[in-house]
Amino acid sequence: MPVSPAGPGGPDEPSDSGRSGGRRGRRGQLDEAALKRAKRRKRMNLVIAAFAVFIMLTGGGVVGITYYSTNVVMPDQIPLPVGTTILSKDGKKLVTLGQQARTIVPLAKIPQHVQWAVAAAEDRKFYEHDGVDYVGIARAAWNNFTGGTKQGASTITQQYARNAYQNLADDSYQRKLKEAILASRLNDEFDKDEIMQHYLNTIYFGRGAYGIEMAAVTFFGKSAEKLDVGEAAVLAGMIKQPVNDPQTGVKGFDPAQNREAAEARWNYVLDGMVEKKWLDPAKRPTEYPKVLKPKDASASVGVKTPVGNVVNYVKAEMDEMGLCHNGAVPEGSTKPNCEVTLATDGYKITTTIDPKLQAAAEKAAQQEKKTSPLHGQPKNLQAALVSIDPKNGEVRAYYGGNSGVGIDYAGENIIGGKLTGGHPAGSSFKVYTLAAAIAEGISIESHWDSTPFKPEGFKDKIVNAGRNPSCKKYCELIESTVKSYNVPFYHISEKIGPDKIVNMARQAGIRTMWTTDPKGSQPVDLTKKKPEEVAPHPFFHVVAYGQYPITVLDHANGLATLANRGKYNRAHFIKTIEQQDKETGAWRKIGGAQLKPAQRISTEVADEVTSVLKKIPGANGANLAGGRQAAGKTGTWQYGDTKSNADAWMVGYTPELATAVWIGSDDPKKPKIRTEGGGDVSGGNLPADIWKQYMDDALSGKKKSALPDSRGIGDRDAGNGVKPPDPPQCPFPINGLCPPNTGGPGPGGPDNPDLPGFPDLPGGPGGPDNPGGDPDGGGGGRGGGNATLPNTTTGTRD
């Protein structure tokens, strides 16, 4: 039972030493029940104090009886919660996870002077006693019982037992007795060095740091094995009171919060080391070490940053590797929940993220940064950027928002139990339609009808989004792609079938696509459905120009496949997973990426697509620096039936890097995306600016690679375009020009007075008001003067 300290007196009775304040009834009488409880507490305290003295006097007897009648689980059977560290591809820390930030280190990596400093601070007889200080327990019990300041009496071994066993977390004399029993057995089971190692890996030092290694990193920016004597004394001094106690107001020994007390404690530790002859007085430090500014090392550090979104993919990939369950653990499964195991089981996960490219992505896409094209734009604008190495599928940069605990605008989210996260890709999806057409034998030089029309059952016409192609019914597929006409792509879907387009997108890397049913959008896992099962229903011909939402991550993966000449590598975030042995501190590899490249799209098809797409960045002012060749495609999708936009894309690649950029709104009340000047955001402005800035930064200093040219494959006559009639031939061009035909006279007629300076022209047929002459070629009447020939000799391209 917890010991109750003396309390203040009641309102009509002055305080009396050792007397608890009570409640009064209506007549001013003490509550009888309260008096009885106070008496019982006093009797219990006497019993406990006497028992503690008895332990002190009889020592091994009582403890020995309890020792052999209690089944004590040893520390090596109690896993310490160890946080997980998620690293970039070059080993720099991105995120830490876990309830306790801890890195276990063996005693061999903890200098002797660090161990002595801790003993000097917490238990100067550590190397002499049997794990329990019975005199200290009795003294503390008697002092507490008689109304003095509440005292502890724990040795390092007892403290370790308390920290290792959760059921010893309460503050009572029963706990101290259990603690003493466990400590006694620990002392028999382990030698002093093993106990010290367990203790130093368990104890809390403040600032979220558990264990000596994390404390050394947090307070001094170095590993424990590099701590000097002065630094060791600082850390050892903080163990007693690492943080401020909000209940008592007692300040902790963190020098950033309580410098004077921290220095006093530091001197106390050093004095103890000298006293125990663990430190030569001549080598005693005289200057208090410089400590880093406070920074929380605790669980989930870095999660509320852009790279925090990477954690969700780490969990998903661990699930696929069979290491844990990313969600509810099925009944009977022995595998843990991924989130729990990351928080407690001490992993070191090296990811594919490149710190330089990640910084470039945030610099370009994070609106708060002055370097971003979004800086100064309306606050509802939200960008997402994903960049992938085409050669291996490793995600080099990922920006889905400012926090990993919010909505991930670049990937999938579970909101209200529903999978969300896709954005309509608009014309940027045409890269897959183009690839599907080429794969079906259609030439990029084929011609298609671009005139708006209303398909059967449609409310509105299929239009070209504000464009009025001059090619009308005879638009080359190259031009239709570069200038982003919608109607020809609808016709392509009609010709080859929407299932072919869905399949091409799936082969490239689109794994999930959402329906746009007015009753509610639903995700469709393309990896588990045959294309003919999902097209033309729910994915109709409008799939050809990107009506259906996809994620930025999937889109980047699809582009990476095209950049890799049709060879697919699944986008992934994990390079290696290591787990730490909680006893030895050693790391062992337990998992990692297993690349399975596959030639999903033929090389000639991918190259033919690239030969068209490389014409697009320049048309949108997004040519990369230094003349570097790049393929790209813009895309925009409007908001509902309005003329305003809701989604805008710029996607593209070089052989070294594939990147997708999306801009939308993060404010449901302001779904339209407009620039500061009030204009529409479209793929060719802000997204293209972000894409170009990022790609230039990411590829700076890298070698330049050429992109393939067209091989002229496919059927040029595959389109539904209607070739316009050839213009009339000019029989007598003058200086490359054909003069206006004013209807010259018939044979033998006089010179044409309407054409001064031009030679006589043969007589022509009669105009509409004057039929021609006789069949023998007699003098025909004068031709009509309102008919003209084109004023140029160039015709429509075949």
Alpha-carbon gap, residue 607 to 618, rounded angstroms: 19
Catalytic residue chosen out of the listed positions 122, 317, 440, 656: 122
The owner of tokens 């400012």 is 402
Q: Alpha helix locations (H) across 497-571?
A: 498-508, 531-534, 552-563
Strand partners, 82: 345
For residue 521, count CB atoms less than 10 angstroms from its CB and return exposed for 0-12, middle for 13-18, buried for 19 or more: middle
Catalytic residue among 372, 427, 428, 480: 427
Amino acid at 713: I
Kindly state the tokens that stand for 222.
């170095």
- CB of 523 closer than 8 Å to CB of 415: no
Number of neighbours of residue 588 by Cβ within 10 angstroms: 10
DSSP three-state, residue 464: coil
Half-sphere exposure of 709 (CA within 13 A, CB side): 0
Give, in order, the Cα–Cα distances in Å from 62 to each of 54, 93, 134, 152.
9, 51, 12, 21
- Cβ(496)–Cβ(543) under 8 Å? no
Which residues contact residue 105 at a Cβ distance below 8 angstroms, ignoring those fewer than 6 apart? 200, 201, 211, 212, 213, 223, 224, 225, 585
Strands (E), 455-506: 475-476
Is the Cβ–Cβ distance between 569 and 597 less than 8 Å? Answer: yes
Rg (CA), the chain: 40
Residue 385: which of 356, 363, 414 has the closest Cα? 363
Active site residue 122: yes
User: For residue 189, how many other CB atoms are within 10 A of its CB?
Assistant: 14
Distance CA 188, CA 131 (A): 9
Distance CA 30, CA 32 (A): 6
Backbone angles phi, psi at 587, to 5 degrees: -100, 140
CA distance 364 to 689: 9
Separation of CA 779 from chain center: 85
Distance, in Å, from the CA atom of 784 to the CA atom of 349, rounded to the nearest integer, reads 85
Is 427 a known active-site residue?
yes
The answer to whether the beta carbons of residues 398 and 353 sit under 8 Å apart is yes
Chain position carrying tokens 């610099």:
363
Is the separation of the CB atoms in 499 and 536 below 8 Å? yes
633: left (phi over 0), alpha (psi -120 to 50) or beta: beta
Where is 137: in which H helix or E strand?
Answer: helix 134-145
Query: Angle at the Cα of 323 (from 318 to 325), degrees rounded to 5?
Result: 75
C-alpha to C-alpha distance for 398 and 353, rounded to whole angstroms: 8
Which helix H or strand E contains 45, and what residues bound it? helix 32-58
At residue 146, φ and ψ (nearest 5 deg) are: -85, 5
The neighbour count for residue 279, using CB atoms within 10 Å, is: 22
Query: Do the Cβ atoms of 505 and 432 come closer than 8 Å?
Result: yes
Cβ contact 493:432 at 8 Å:
no
Cβ–Cβ under 8 Å, residues 375 and 368: yes
Distance, CA of 178 to chain centre:
46
Reduced to 3 states (helix: H, G, I; strand: E, B; else coil), residue 414 is strand
Residue 601 contacts residue 508 (beta carbons within 8 Å)? yes
What residues are labeled active site?
A: 122, 427
